[in-house]
């Protein structure tokens, strides 16, 4: 277990990273490469962030650094990831700045299967597997549960479940301003790009090459 100090208002705080399960790679991407930086968003304008695939809570901490007025709802199905998430975000959970759910985000409420990986950020949910033991929740149900009528920023990194979340009835996208999403296959890309086009989003790569990158920012046309 590695313990790292980061700058976090009102001062420094410790975060906990598992040494051999991919947490340090995620830390580097988020806090050094700043893959979730959205420079055009005003800090005070972001009130609600929904983090699908919240892993061990590092993305939530980053969003709270960038958007100090926001509340973050973290969704993470993998048990060991969720345990680390609650450890890293304990102060924010205690004050209500963060809400954490150990469920999988999907198109419908129900149950799904789960495939664990050595690098825990690669663990993924599977629809129609043999052991449907992981509870799943749809975005509309999530919004209703937390009495949210609008999502300023939706972050999606769900290891191939994107195609499930963005299929079926996606009218909830009308209540979302920005989506930052990692796409893991051509099928995921096709489903999500179709959904964004249908609901009037402009999509750009977080990096330079739209054809080859996997991380995208979808922003509703103003």
Per-residue pLDDT tens listing for the chain (222 residues): 666 667 666 667 789 999 878 899 899 989 988 889 876 666 668 999 999 999 999 999 999 988 989 999 999 998 899 999 999 999 999 999 999 999 999 998 988 877 665 554 555 666 655 565 789 999 999 999 999 999 999 999 998 889 999 988 899 999 999 999 999 889 999 999 999 999 999 998 886 544 446 899 999 876
Q: Which domains does the chain have, with CATH numbers?
A: 2-220 (3.40.50.150)
How many Å apart are CA 219 and CA 200, to the nearest integer? 8
Helix axes of 58-66 and 79-88: crossing angle, nearest 10 degrees: 40
Kindly state the DSSP code that residue 96 receives in the 8-state scheme.
T
Beta bridge mates, 126: 113
Alpha carbons within 13 A on the beta-carbon side of 100: 29
DSSP class of 101: E
- Copy the structure tokens of residue 136: 């799943």
């Amino acid at each position: 277990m590695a313990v790292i100090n980061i700058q976090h208002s009102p001062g420094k705080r410790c975060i906990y990273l598992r040494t051999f399960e991919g947490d340090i790679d995620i830390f580097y991407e988020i806090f050094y490469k700043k893959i979730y930086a959205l420079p055009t968003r005003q800090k005070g304008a972001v009130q609600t962030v929904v983090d699908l695939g919240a892993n061990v809570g590092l993305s939530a901490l980053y969003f709270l650094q960038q958007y100090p007025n926001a509340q973050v709802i973290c969704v993470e199905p993998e048990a060991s990831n969720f345990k680390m998430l609650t450890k890293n975000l304990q102060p924010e959970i205690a004050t209500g700045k963060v809400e954490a759910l150990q469920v999988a985000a999907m198109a419908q409420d129900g149950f799904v299967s789960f495939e664990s990986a050595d690098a825990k950020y690669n663990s993924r949910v599977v629809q129609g597997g043999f052991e449907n033991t992981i509870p799943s929740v749809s975005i509309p149900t999530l919004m209703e549960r937390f009495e949210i009528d609008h999502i300023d920023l939706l972050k999606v990194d769900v290891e191939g479940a994107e195609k499930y979340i963005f299929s079926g009835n996606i009218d909830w996208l009308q209540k979302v301003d920005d989506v930052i999403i990692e796409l893991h296959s051509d099928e995921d890309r096709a489903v999500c790009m179709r959904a964004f086009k249908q609901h009037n989003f402009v999509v750009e790569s977080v990096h330079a090459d739209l054809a080859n990158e996997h991380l995208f920012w979808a922003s509703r046309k103003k």
